[in-house]
Structure 1
Amino acid sequence: MASNVDEDTLALLGLALILKMNNTKKKRKKWCKHWLLKRKTYSHVNLLSELKFEPEDFKNYLRMDEKTYLKLLEMVTPMIKKEDTVMRNSISAHERLSVTLRFLATGRSYEDLKFSAIISPQALGKIIPETCEALYKVLRRDYFKFPKSEEEWKEIAKMYEERWNFPHCLGAIDGKHISIVPPANSGSYFYNYKGQHSVVLMAIVNAKYQFIYIDVGMNGRISDGGVLQNTKFFEKLENSDLHIPSSELLTGSNRNLPYVFVADDAFPLRPDMIKPFRQADLTSQERRILNYRLSRARRTVENAFGIMASRFRIFYTHINLEPENIDKVVKASCVLHNFLIEHSKKSYAPQKCFYRENSENGTIISEGYNTQNSTMVNLERRNPGNTLNNAKIVRNNFMNYFNQEGRVPWQNDHVN
Structure 2
Amino acid sequence: MTVATVRRLQLLQYLGELEQNIAENDEAIAHLLHNGHNGRPRRQRRRYWIRPWITRRTQYGHFDRLMKELETEDVLSFKNFLRVEPDMFRELVDRLSPRLQKQDTWFRKALEPGLKLAITLWYLATGESYTSLMYGFRVPHNTISLLIREVCESIIAEYADEVIACPTTTDEWQQIAEQFKNRWNLDHVLGALDGKHIAIKCPRNGGSLYYNYKGFHSLILMGLVDADYKFIGVDIGANGSASDATVFNNLELKDVIENQNIGFPEADPLPNDNRNIPYFIVGDDAFPLRTWLMKPFARRTLTNEERIFNYRLSRARRVVENAFGILANRWQCLLAPMHQEPETVSSMVLACCCLHNLMRMRFPNLQNENLDQEDLNHHVVPGAWRNCANLTDLDNVGGCNRATIAAKTQRLYLKHYYNSPVGAVPWQNDMI
> How many angstroms does 1:117 deviate by?
1.4
| Corresponding residue for residue 370 of structure 2 | 353
Task: Report matched runs for 1:243-258 at 5 Å.
Answer: 243-258=263-278
Shift of 1:201: 0.3
Residue number among 316, 320, 323 corresponding to 1:301 in the alignment:
320
Q: Is this contact kept in 2: 1:171–1:207, CA < 8 A?
A: yes
Structure 2 unaligned regions, length at least 5: 1-27, 388-398
Matched, 1:41 2:56: no
CA deviation profile, 1:312-352 (whole Å, cap 9, x unmatched) = 110111011011100000000011000011112333x03x3
The equivalent of 1:362 in structure 2 is 378
Tell me by how many angstroms 1:369 deviates: 4.3
1:327 equivalent to 2:343? Answer no
Separation in 2, partners of 1:66, 1:246: 44
With structure 2 as the length reference, what TM-score do the two structures score?
0.85
Q: 1:399 aligns with which of 415, 429, 432?
A: 415
User: CA shift at 1:187, angstroms?
Assistant: 1.4
TM-score by length of 1: 0.88
Change (3 A) 1:82 1:24: closer
Deviations 1:67-94 (A, max 9, x none): 1211122121111111212221101001
**Contact 1:171–1:204 at 8 Å: present in 2 too?**
yes
Q: Deviations over 1:165-209 (max 9, x none)?
A: 111100000001110011122111111111100000000000010
Match of 2:236 in 1: 216
From 360, 369, 374, the counterpart of 1:341: 360
Q: Give the root-mean-square deviation of aligned CA atoms.
A: 2.2
Partner residue of 1:285 out of 282, 304, 318: 304
Contact 1:201/1:215 (8 A) holds in 2: yes
- 2:334 paired with 1:315: yes
Q: 2:107 aligns with which of 59, 74, 87?
A: 87
Matched, 1:163 2:163: no
Alignment partner of 1:227: what SS?
helix
How many residues get paired? 385
Q: Which has the higher contact order (CA 8 A, sep 6+)?
A: 1
Structure 1 regions of 5+ residues with no counterpart?
A: 1-12, 374-384
Show the counterpart of 1:412. 429
User: Is 2:152 the counterpart of 1:128?
Assistant: no
| Equivalent-residue separation in structure 2 for 1:24 and 1:353 (angstroms) | 55
Amino acid at match of 1:368: G
Which residue number in structure 1 is paired with residue 9 of structure 2?
none
Measure how far apart 1:66 and its partner are. 0.9
Q: Distance in 1 between matches of 2:298 and 2:233?
A: 27
What amino acid is aligned across from residue 396 of structure 1 in structure 2?
L
**1:233 equivalent in structure 2:** 253
CA contact (8 A) 2:194 2:244 kept: no
Residue 279 of structure 1: how far off its partner (Å): 4.2
- Cα distance change of structure 1 residues 342 and 25 upon mapping to structure 2, 3 Å threshold: closer
* Farther-moved stretch of structure 1 (217-226 vs 200-209): 217-226
Percent of pairs identical after alignment?
38
CA contact (8 A) 1:62 1:105 kept: yes
Q: Secondary structure at the match of 1:271?
A: coil
Larger of the two Rg values belongs to structure: 2
1:102 matched to 2:122 = yes
